[in-house]
Amino acid sequence: MIQENDNQNLFLVFHLNNEIYGTNLMQVREVIERQTPKPVPNTIQSYLGVINVRGEIIGAIDLRLRFGYPSLGTPANNSAMIVINLPSGTLAVITDQLEGVFHLNFLENGQKPKIESSIRNDYILGMCEFKNKIITIIDLYSILNTQEITSLNQIHNESKEAI
């Protein structure tokens, strides 16, 4: 039986551009098989469109593009979508491959590493060790900024009405 405290150390681990990432399992609503999103015009590059999850129309973000990695073009057979509930709505995040759910502990007492970057990186929560590698733990709720969320919500609502 998992204790409530243990849930804080449960992470969904996934691959993206030959790197390994993790996110707190408490942020994940569900994991689904990858679908091909219906494109929506005039959106940010990483917003691929909308998908239908059991009658619910939700937006889909390509995490590769969001992080500045090149697009895969043809998705890998084992790619998946992580569905998260944001305060502003539901979003599916596309990853290259899922590794699974694991108990992980932050390195260096959970301190976030100082990262010099020309792009925002406030979604990085810290680093953990996983299978003798250091992986990046990210906050999926923070991968979009407030302006992008507002813009996408407007587009998403218009898409729902059109479908």
Task: Report the CATH number that the domain containing residue 95 is assigned in CATH.
Answer: 2.40.50.180
The residue that leads in pLDDT, 2 or 159, is: 159
pLDDT, tens only, 29-46: 999 999 999 998 888 888
**In 10 A of CB 136, how many CB atoms?**
20
50 bridge partner residues: 38, 59
Contacts of residue 119, Cβ cutoff 8 Å, sequence gap at least 6: 68
Residue 31: burial class (beta carbons within 10 Å; 0-12, 13-18, 19+): middle
| Whether pLDDT at 84 is above 50 | yes
**Torsion (CA) 86, 117, 49, 157 in degrees, nearest 10:** 40
pLDDT in tens, 126-142: 889 899 998 999 998 88
Domain of residue 129: give its range: 4-162
pLDDT score recorded for residue 74: 72
The residue count for the chain? 163
Q: Do the strands 89-95 and 47-53 form a parallel or antiparallel pair, or are they unpaired? A: unpaired
Write the burial class of residue 133 (CB in 10 Å: 0-12 exposed, 13-18 middle, 19+ buried).
exposed
23 contacts 12 by C-beta, under 8 angstroms: yes
Backbone angles phi, psi at 161, to 5 degrees: -70, -30
Which position has the token pair 């940010």? 44
Give the chain's domain count. Answer: 1
Averaged pLDDT for residues 102-107 = 88
